[in-house]
Chains A and B, each alone.
Chain A
Amino acid sequence: MTSEEIVSEIKRDYINRLAEVGRRIDGRAFNEYREIVVEKGVISTAEGSARVRIGGTEVVVGVKMDLGEPFPDTPNMGVLTTSAELGPLASPTFEAGPPDEKAIELARVTDRAIRESGAIDLQRLCIEEGNKVWVLFLDIYVLDYDGNMFDAAEYCALAALLNTTVPASRFDMGDDFKLEVERYPISMTFAKIENSIVVDPSLDEDNIADARLTVSIDEENRIRAMQKGLSGGFTVDEVKKIINTAMELAPKIRKKIVEA
C-alpha cells in the first residue's frame, strides 16, 4: 500500500494546461462548487448525525454526549472533543490504524471552525461549575474520499450539531433538549494549481495542488478560522481574493445545510 496518491505526469500536465486557459478537468469554473447533498438524522444511536456528499466525497458525522468533568482552566464550560477517522474503505491510500497526521489535521481544522466561531455555546453545557459538564464528542468518519474532505467534514459536523438532542433523561438530568447552535460557520477550501486558484478541489486537483487554503466564514461574513496547507504559498492578493470568493459562495451552502 502507498500512502500517497500517484498522479501521472501526463495528467498533471493536462490539468495545469487546462488551468492556464481557465478550465478544470471536470468542466467546472474556478469558483464553481460541486453538488452538495446533506442528510440529517441518519444514525439513530447518535445524539445527532448527518451525512454529506460533495461530488464523490462522502462523510458521516455522529455526535455522542456524556457527562464528565470540565477542564480546570474552563470550569464553567462543557467539553468539545473532535476526532476524525480516515477509514481504509474511503481510499486505496488510507491505512487502518490510529489517526495519522492527515486525520488529526482534519479533526483539528473542523474543530477550530466550530469552536472559534462559537457555533456551540460551551457555557450552556455546564451543569455544575468545576464539577460536572456535558462532554460532546464530534466524530467524523470519511467514507469515500474524492477530494476536499475539509469542507465535507465541516458541513457534516455543522449539520450533525443542528440535528443534536442532548440526552439528559438518559443521565437522569431532566428532560432531553435540543442543542442550541449559535453560529453557522461555513468552511471553504481552495487549491492553488500552478498559478490558478480553484474552489472545492476534486481528487485530482487535491493531489497535484501546490498549496491549499481553508477559510471559515460565519453568517455575518466574519472570518472565524483558517488553515493553509501544503508546501506552496499564496500572495497577499491571492489570499484576499480567496476570502472574497468564500464570502460570496458561503451563504448558499449555509442555507442548504441549515434547511436540510
Chain B
Amino acid sequence: MGIKKEGIKLINEDGLRIDGRKPDELRPIKIEAGVLKRADGSAYIEWGKNKILVGVYGPRELHPRHLQDPTKAKVQCRYDMASFSVIDRKRPGPDRRSIEISKIIGEALENVIFTHQFPRTSIDIYIEVLEANAGTRCAGLTAASVALADAGIPMKDLIAAVSVGKVDGEIVLDLVKEEDNYGEADVPIGYVPRTGEVVLLQMDGDLSYEEFEKALNMGIEACKKIYEMQKDALKRKYVKVATEIVEEVE
C-alpha cells in the first residue's frame, strides 16, 4: 500500500467514495463473449476504466513435447499489460508482477477446467490489459473464465473475481486506482459459486480478523453478482448464434 498523502479523503461525510459509490458497490461491468476471430474462445471486459481482452487457444498439442503431461492438459496463462495501459508508459513484455499474476490466474483456472479430458495438450489463456485502473487481475480472471467457456472447454464452473480493500478505515468493494494507491489493504478474491471454493486469494496491507472476514463476505457476495453477468454474456452470444442458425435454416 502506498503512503497516503495528507489531506486526501477517500470517503466523504456521506460515506460515499471518490467516484460516488457506496462501500459495497461495484463499478459498472460490461462483458462480451466471442470477440476475436482467430482465437478459439475470447472475451472482452470493461470494468470501470479497465479494458481487458482475453483470447483462449486449445486444447492443442503442447510444445516442447517434454513438457506434456500424459495425464492432463497444461493450463498456461499469460497476463500482459499494454505499454499504454497506464499513465507512465510500461515497457512492453513481461515483468515480475505480470509473471506472478499469470501464475496465480492460471492456477485458479486449472481448478475449474476438466484437464484430465485432454492429456498431452495445452490450454493457453492470453490476457491483454489495454487500459488499467486497479483490479485488472480480477477483471482478467473473470473475463478469462468467459473466454474458456466460449472456447467450449469443459469446466466445473466459471470463476468470478473481485478485489476488496480497506480505505479510510472502512472495508470497501472493488477499489479504483486512487483507493488502491492510498488505501490500507487490498484483497483480490476469485470464487467458484457452484462449489463455494476460493481459488484466488491474495492480500497486502493491514487487516484485523474481523475486517478480513467482512472483506471476504463482501467479496463473495459481489462475485455472485459478477457470476450472473458472466452467464449473461455467454447467453447473449449463443442466443445470437442460435437465432442466426434458425434464420439460415428457414
Q: Which residues of A pack against B, CB within 8 Å? A: 1, 42-47, 49, 56, 58, 60, 62-64, 66, 83, 85, 87-92, 96, 98-99, 137, 139, 141, 143-146, 170
Known: A43-B84, A88-B78, A90-B38; 5 extra A-B contacts, CB below 8 A, are: A1-B63, A43-B82, A88-B55, A92-B38, A141-B130
- CB closest residue in chain A, given B57: A92
Is B82 a contact partner of A89 (Cβ separation < 8 A)?
A: no
B111 at the interface (CB under 8 A from A): no
Note all chain B residues with C-beta closer than 8 A to A96.
Answer: 78, 94, 126
Knowing A43-B51, A85-B92, A96-B78, the reply to whether A137 touches B83 (Cβ < 8 A) is: yes
CA–CA, A47 to B87, complex, Å? Answer: 9
**Looking at the complex, which one of B49, B53, B85 makes contact with A89 (CB distance below 8 Å)?**
B53
Q: Which residues of B pack against A, CB within 8 Å? A: 36-39, 42, 49, 51, 53-55, 57, 60, 63, 78, 80, 82-89, 92-94, 124, 126, 128, 130-133
- CB closest residue in chain B, given A46: B84
What are 26 of the A-B contact pairs (CB < 8 Å)?
A1-B60, A43-B51, A43-B130, A45-B84, A45-B85, A45-B86, A45-B133, A60-B82, A62-B84, A85-B82, A88-B57, A88-B126, A89-B42, A89-B54, A89-B126, A89-B128, A91-B38, A92-B38, A137-B83, A139-B89, A143-B128, A144-B36, A144-B39, A145-B38, A146-B37, A170-B87
Note all chain A residues with C-beta closer than 8 A to B83.
Answer: 62, 64, 83, 137, 139
* A205 nearest CB across to chain B (Å): 16
CA–CA, A198 to B53, complex, Å? Answer: 32
CA–CA, A143 to B124, complex, Å? Answer: 15
CA–CA, A39 to B49, complex, Å? Answer: 17
The 8 closest A-B CB pairs, nearest first, are A62-B84, A89-B55, A89-B126, A64-B89, A46-B84, A56-B37, A139-B83, A144-B36
- CB closest residue in chain A, given B49: A44
**Looking at the complex, which one of B42, B88, B128, B133 makes contact with A141 (CB distance below 8 Å)?**
B128
Is B93 a contact partner of A44 (Cβ separation < 8 A)?
A: no
Most chain B beta-carbon contacts within 10 A, residue among A46, A47, A143? A143
Is B92 a contact partner of A83 (Cβ separation < 8 A)?
A: yes
Is B82 a contact partner of A137 (Cβ separation < 8 A)?
A: no
Is B38 a contact partner of A146 (Cβ separation < 8 A)?
A: yes
Note all chain A residues with C-beta closer than 8 A to B89.
Answer: 64, 66, 137, 139
Note all chain A residues with C-beta closer than 8 A to B36.
Answer: 58, 89-90, 143-144
Knowing A64-B84, A64-B89, A139-B84, the reply to whether A87 touches B126 (Cβ < 8 A) is: yes
CA–CA, A58 to B37, complex, Å? Answer: 9
Is A139 a contact partner of B78 (Cβ separation < 8 A)?
A: no
- CB closest residue in chain A, given B39: A89
CA–CA, A252 to B193, complex, Å? Answer: 52
Note all chain A residues with C-beta closer than 8 A to B86.
Answer: 45
* B32 nearest CB across to chain A (Å): 14
CA–CA, A44 to B88, complex, Å? Answer: 13
Note all chain B residues with C-beta closer than 8 A to A99.
Answer: 92
Note all chain B residues with C-beta closer than 8 A to A146.
Answer: 37-38
* A86 nearest CB across to chain B (Å): 11
Knowing A44-B49, A146-B37, A146-B38, the reply to whether A90 touches B55 (Cβ < 8 A) is: yes
